[in-house]
Amino acid sequence: MTKKFLEQHNVAFVEHNIDEQPEFVDELKANGFMATPVVQLPDGNAFSGFRPDMLRGLA
């Protein structure tokens, strides 16, 4: 749903698929994330899960 929201609102993003790029799993865990999706904001903050409230600020 996060990816669909970003696409529908023409927000540019870089996708790292952990099924295809498992090297990113350790990085996510090191940053305290245990669930996907993880969205890193331009200000450096990040959150996980589908968060329309946070995504609206990008659109």
pLDDT value at 8 more than 90:
yes
Q: Which residues pair with 6 in a beta bridge?
A: none
* Torsion angles phi and psi, residue 38, rounded to 5: -115, 130
pLDDT tens-digit series, residues 9-58: 999 999 999 999 999 999 999 999 999 999 999 999 999 999 999 999 99
User: Can you tell me the distance from the alpha carbon of 3 to that of 23, in angstroms, rounded to the nearest whole number?
Assistant: 20
Residue by residue, DSSP assigns the chain as -HHHHHHHTT-------TTT-THHHHHHHHTT--SS-EEE-TTS-EEES--HHHHTTT-
Amino acid 58 reads: L
